[in-house]
Amino acid sequence: MRIYVTEDYNAMSRRVASILAAQVILKPDCVLGLATGSTPVGAYKLLAEGYKKGDLDFSQVRSINLDEYVGLAPTHDQSYRYFMQSNLFDHVNINPDNTNVPNGLAADPAEECRRYNQVIRTLGPIDIQLLGMGHNGHIGFNEPADAFALETNLVNLAESTIQANARFFASADEVPRQAMTMGIQTIMQARKVLVAVSGKDKAAIVKKAFTGPVTPQVPASILQMHPDVILVGDKAALSEL
Ligand code: F6R
């Protein structure tokens, strides 16, 4: 595992954006595994700037997002599809048909998970999977559990995740209780995994995930078994490593 310690969030974002940009330059038709959340916002902004400057071309890039809330329309401002459009896709020349996020409004979410698995099987393996990390060690919406989930699956969100995400909604009651998430096996099949973390509040879980036992109770701990992981974090997030 390679670890890059940066001064702060902005420097972390620059490093993450550079690694993703390098991937797009080296393999213009690459498959990017993308994440939402507050961590990658700065990196996406820099990628959009790279496109505007003419340094990056996303015309052949394919993307597969990690997850989506069940019940939120793509136009809902807290849906992950909306997040991706407003933070990245609307600002670069990626072909909308080449972007993939589970459909939060699918009538049958279990069937939607199966469809998404098929999409991943057809496009994959993912060249580089960007991940943030939850305070309980979740990656995607793979919450602490008795076993590692394999493929895209329907999950009940942990209470801690609902509370953490409540800041984006009018109240915790409005946070959806279920989500569809790419499974751990799929994440582990990505050729490269890029984990981004920022802030002191992530320091304890970063330590647990990367130096503690590998256990489905800390889903990110499985990344210790991946042959090509890059961890980029600001010094606050990596302070306990
Ligand atoms: C987002 C996702 C989540 C977040 C995690 C960290 O697609 O799958 O696992 O990466 O909850 O969120 P932030 O970046 O907001 O701390």
> In this structure, what CATH number is given to the domain that contains residue 93?
3.40.50.1360
* pLDDT the model gives residue 69: 96
Name which residue sits closest to atom 3 of ligand 1, judged by CA. Answer: 140
* pLDDT the model gives residue 224: 98
Residues of the chain predicted below pLDDT 50: none
* pLDDT the model gives residue 121: 96
* pLDDT the model gives residue 82: 98
Quote the number of domains for the chain: 1
Q: How far is the CA of 96 from the centre of ligand 1 (A)?
A: 23
The percentage of the chain sitting over the pLDDT mark of 90, rounded to a whole number, equals: 95
* pLDDT the model gives residue 175: 93
* pLDDT the model gives residue 161: 86
* pLDDT the model gives residue 194: 99
Annotated catalytic residue within 68, 112, 127, 143: 143
Annotated catalytic residue within 68, 100, 117, 138: 138
Write down the residue that tokens 């559990």 correspond to: 145
**Ligand 1-lining residues (CB < 6 angstroms):** 35-39, 66-67, 132-134, 138-141
* pLDDT the model gives residue 195: 99
* pLDDT the model gives residue 160: 87
Instruction: List, for residues 103-128, the tens digit of each pLDDT value.
Output: 999 999 999 999 999 999 999 899 99
Q: How far is the CA of 95 from the centre of ligand 1 (A)?
A: 24
Any domain includes 239: no
How many Å apart are CA 178 and CA 102, to the nearest integer?
13
Any domain includes 241: no
Name which residue sits closest to atom 11 of ligand 1, judged by CA. Answer: 134
* pLDDT the model gives residue 87: 98
Any domain includes 147: yes
Across all residues in the chain, what is the average pLDDT? 97
Q: How far is the CA of 140 from the centre of ligand 1 (A)?
A: 7
* pLDDT the model gives residue 164: 85
Domain region containing 99: 2-234
Instruction: List, for residues 31-65, the tens digit of each pLDDT value.
Output: 999 999 999 999 999 999 999 999 999 999 999 99
Mutate to test the pocket of ligand 1, among 131, 162, 197 (most ligand atoms within 8 A of CB): 131
Any domain includes 52: yes
Any domain includes 240: no
Any domain includes 130: yes
Yes or no: say if 145 and 216 are a contact pair by the CB < 8 Å rule.
yes
Any domain includes 81: yes
* pLDDT the model gives residue 233: 98
- Is 136 designated active site? yes
